[in-house]
Structure 1
Amino acid sequence: MTTYSILAPMAPYRPEQLLPYAALTQWTDAHRLWQGQALLNDPFQDFTHAAACGFRVPTGTGVTLMPLRHPHQAAIQAHSLAVASGHPVVAGYGPGAASFQASLLGTPYRSQLGAIREYVAVMRGLLENGEVDHVGEYFTCRAELAAVPRPPVEIGLGVLRPRMARLAGEIADVAITWLTPAGYVHDVVVPALRAGAEAAGRPMPRVAVMVPLALAAPDRNPVELVTMSNTGHTMLPHYADMLRRSGIETSTQDPRGNAEALLAGGAFLYGGPVELAPRLREYADAGADEIVLNVTGVHMKYGERASLTELEALLGAVAR
């Protein structure tokens, strides 16, 4: 059964800004509260703050950037959040853009997939076995993590393109997509995940799709909402390549044209509740296990009250 979750539509600079979205998750049928990477506040600390305030809900990071923390620290943070919240955690990671890697590490990872494989190996050893003895090209870790009772921690990987999807099929618990049209999930992501899982002799990871969307209204300009929400992504080479594979052409010189292309290609959904509900179900039909509602554009344009109202309306529409 496909579940519906919500993404906090901003990177909070004070942890209490997350509380209304944690409350919405707790009081509705939303399955999980997600955060993307933040470079001012740490999402694991934000979620722990929400739990300490009484809003204990399942959480997910989609995705935290690997260069910011060693996998030993990543395992400790995910473990600590599960203990503090009393709920399952999806600890999602990705390498980030090569330029971001170089800005923190001096040079990008020589092999993106090789670095990810080592990162997950260290985390899984600590979280599942309580110890790890790993000496690799990218990470070294000889350490233990005491086994104490806690809810499950799933290791997620950000997935955009086929090679990453195949690797996620081999080693991840959850494959997390962002801005991927339903047809691309069905035709590219899921087959590659399945192939990787079969090669490794393990179950296919769950698929969590982050879907940017907005409800139609007479005073709204959908192109403006898409531009505010997703221009940064369309300027990154790995996103542009994924979109091109899905049939959506973008340019670093034309943000408005990119927004129009995302709308036309189904990477950003816009319409009334009656129209959006079946379009979201297309993701379930494509193989998504968890659909994450992303109203960042609405929040950036109209603020917190509008984004909370929007999420509540969307959750009601998909529950019918």
Structure 2
Amino acid sequence: MRIGIMIGEVRGPATADDLRAQAAAADGLAAVWSAQALGWDALTALVLAAGQTPTAELGTAVVPVRQRHPLTLAGQALSAQAATGNRLTLGIGAGIGAMLTGMYGLAADRPVAYLREYLSVLRPLLRGEQVEHHGEMITAVGTAAIPGTEPPPVLLAALGERMLRLAGEAADGTVTWMAGRRTLETHVVPLITAAAASPPRIVAGLPVTVTADVDDARERIARYYGMAARVPEYRATLDREGVAGPGDVALAGDESAVARQLGLLAEAGVTDFAAAPFGTVAEQARTVRLLRAVGAPGVPDNRV
């Protein structure tokens, strides 16, 4: 299992210098991931991070697509691809329904059908092709080609059965958030694997903290990520896991305990772990040190 670190607002408010420092601390790990939240643009954050970790994969986890026409997102993604030496992996998703309707006034219905059509347009654009698409939900005519760029792999945020099947059929894998080990092993991995023509990537994103006070850490995680326990998209996943909230699926404990939990995720079929270090500055630094010890490529016997 490859280990990467999430940077930016998923860990708290972040300046440009914070993003660079977080990426530099992750240097040597397999990947740096950035989520699209309410401030930082995820692709821009990765361009900032690229100079701090010259070999890591740079992935969005994820960019909601209802707000970005496929021609727009293709141009942005290929621009980031050109700026980072073709290291981008583009994770996309349907977005949280309540945010789409409440903040943007956009429709949030039929997410699987919308993503299926969106991918049918986006992927040719990422290959530099001209498209002329007049579909049920999307019209796109044009190209977003940028010389010297390679089409980035595309991952699809998926938690429900139909979206997981679409991720296997039309994307290179999936990115999950707040899916616990049981859900990953018994639901996510079997469904996407059955639908995919070749072994898919399964990127699991979770908060993680190396700490001596596990109960306190889980309570703080539950408060900080409390929205995930209330919105239907994540509530259904937490219910499937049989837990109350994000604090129950986070990885927490001392170094040996968190290392064991990482091993269990690998055994469940997770190919990539996107860690969101949580806590105080000292706790996050301790967490990053453990992740580097376990997952930094090139160090003997350090891969989960």
Q: TM-score, normalised by structure 1?
A: 0.84
Residues in 2 aligned to 1:12 and 1:184: alpha-carbon distance in whole angstroms:
30
- Give a deviation string over 1:167-203, Cα, whole Å, max 9, x none: 1011111200111111211111111112322xxxx22
Correspondence for 2:287 among 310, 313, 316: 310
Q: Which residue is equivalent to 2:255?
A: 273
5+ residue gaps in structure 2?
296-301
Question: By percentage of residues, which structure has more helix?
Answer: 1
| Structure 2 counterparts to residues 23-102 of structure 1, below 5 A | 23-26=24-27, 28=28, 30-51=29-50, 53=51, 55-56=53-54, 57-102=56-101
Q: Label 1:21 to 1:239 Cα distance change in 2 as closer, same or farther (>3 A).
A: same
* Other structure's SS at 2:228 match: helix
Q: For each residue in 1:110-160, what CA deviation from the matched residue of structure 2 results, as whole angstroms up to 9, or x when unmatched?
A: 311011111211110111252222112221111123352235511111111
Distance 2:64 2:169 in 1: 20
The partner residue of 1:239 within 228, 234, 242 is 234
Match of 1:286 among 246, 268, 284: 268
Alpha-carbon displacement from aligned partner over 1:77-119 (angstroms, at most 9, x marks no partner): 1111111111421111111122222135535233110111112
Is 1:212 matched with 2:207? yes
What's the CA shift for 1:293? 1.4
CA 1:110 to 1:161, structure 2 compared with 1: closer, same or farther past 3 Å? closer
Letter in 1 for 2:259: A
Instruction: Please tell me whether the aligned partners of residues 33 and 61 of structure 2 are also in contact (alpha carbons under 8 angstroms).
Output: yes
Q: Which range moved further: 83-92 or 221-230?
A: 221-230
CA distance in structure 1 between the aligned counterparts of 2:65 and 2:137, rounded to whole angstroms: 11
CA separation in 1, counterparts of 2:73 and 2:94?
13
2:222 maps to which of 220, 227, 236: 227
Runs (4+) off by over 6 Å? none
2:233 is paired with a residue whose SS is: helix
Q: Distance in 1 between matches of 2:127 and 2:99?
A: 30
Counterparts of 1:224 and 1:218, CA distance in 2: 10
What is the CA–CA distance in structure 1 between the aligned matches of 2:12 and 2:114, rounded to whole Å?
A: 26
Distance 2:11 2:211 in 1: 21
Whether contact under 8 Å (1:181, 1:246) holds in the other structure is yes
Which whole-Å CA distance do the structure 1 matches of 2:103 and 2:114 have between them?
15
User: Which sections of structure 1, spanning at least 5 residues, go unmatched?
Assistant: 251-257
Q: Residues 314 and 136 from structure 1, CA distance in 2 versus in 1: closer, same or farther, beyond 3 angstroms?
A: same
SS at match of 2:153: strand
CA distance in 2, matches of 1:225, 1:62: 23
CA contact (8 A) 1:213 1:269 kept: yes
Q: Report the number of matched residues.
A: 294
| Greater mean deviation of Cα atoms: 85-94 or 162-171 | 85-94
| Alignment correspondent of 2:111 | 112
Counterpart CA distance in 2 for 1:18 and 1:45 is 11
Counterpart Cα distance in 2 of 1:162 and 1:6 = 27
Contact 1:15 1:41 in 2 (8 A): no
How far off is 1:217 after superposition? 1.6
**Quick one: which amino acid aligns to residue 293 of structure 1?**
A
Q: Summarize deviations over 1:295-315 as a string: whole Å, max 9, x none.
A: 23x1xxx13x54233212232
What root-mean-square deviation, in Å, do the aligned CA atoms of Structure 1 and Structure 2 show? Answer: 2.2
Q: Quick check: 1:130 aligned with 2:129?
A: yes
**Identity over aligned pairs, percent:** 27
Offset of residue 239 of structure 1 = 0.7
TM-score (norm 2): 0.88
